Amino acid sequence: MSGYALNVSLAVLVVVVCVVLAAIGMSGCAETGEEKKGAKTILIVLNRAPYDGTDVAWNALRLVGKLKDDGTNVRLFLMNDSVDLARESTKAPEDYFDLVEDVKKLIAKDVPVKACGTCQTRCGIHKGEGYYEGAEKGTLGDLSEWVRESDQVITF
């Protein structure tokens, strides 16, 4: 069996186990990408460039991670120059945190991340470059929906 087929088989098995556990009233699958029912939902909107001489982007990502670890439903929407955080070509300056890797770690923890589609061609150092897998191309409609569904919105 190829590695890909094995990964798909394991993913299907995890979904089946989660469905069975949910059917008998035992969740145990909080890390499957689904938001926790009854938990507060917070949207973080990041507008700042990743490496602009401040720690604003880094602090925003740290907050997203802490909220997720604390059991909060948290979403991240990247706008303006912060969309560079969703691009492979963005590299950290020497002796600084790799914020692109930090976003990827959040995605791996099932934090939904959307990066503005309009900003893809207009903003950032790497204008026009696509986004890596896991960072979904978002629209103003997506942002509007996330704002309406959130209990709290925080902008950086």
Decide: helix, strand or coil at residue 130. coil
Find the CATH number of the domain harbouring 42. 3.40.1260.10
DSSP-H helix ranges across the chain = 3-23, 56-69, 99-108, 117-122, 140-149
What is the pLDDT tens value at each position of the chain, 156 positions in all? 444 343 334 333 333 334 333 433 444 444 445 677 778 999 999 999 999 999 999 999 999 999 999 999 999 999 999 999 999 888 999 889 999 999 999 999 999 999 999 988 878 777 777 787 889 999 999 999 999 999 999 999
Residues 14 and 56 grouped into a single domain: no
| 24 and 92 housed in the same domain | no
**Residues 67, 42: Cα–Cα separation, whole Å:** 8
The domain of 8 spans 1-31
25 and 67 co-located in one domain: no
Q: Clarify whether residues 81 and 25 are in a common domain.
A: no
pLDDT score of 126: 72
What pLDDT, on the 0 to 100 scale, is given for residue 151? 97
Q: Please name the residues in contact with 141: beta carbons below 8 A apart, sequence gap of 6 or more.
A: none
Same-domain pairing of 60 and 15? no
Q: Are residues 105 and 127 in the same domain?
A: yes
**Residue in 40, 43, 107 with CA at minimum distance from that of residue 77:** 43
Report the number of distinct structural domains present in the chain: 2
Which two three-digit tokens encode residue 105? 């770690």
88 and 149 in a single domain? The answer is: yes
Task: Give how far Cα 82 sits from Cα of 54, 92, 125, 151, Å.
Answer: 13, 13, 10, 23
Closest Cα partner for 113 from 142, 89, 136? Answer: 136
**Residue 33 confidence (pLDDT):** 52
Same domain assignment for residues 118 and 96: yes
Shared-domain flag, residues 26 and 38: no
Q: How far is 136 from 112, CA to CA, in rounded Å?
A: 8
Same domain? For 110 and 120 the reply is yes
Whether residue 147 sits in one domain with residue 94: yes
- Whether residue 144 is found in the same domain as residue 100: yes
pTM listed for this prediction:
0.75
CA distance 43 to 88: 24
Residue 152 bridge partners (DSSP): 42
What per-residue confidence (pLDDT) applies to 122? Answer: 74
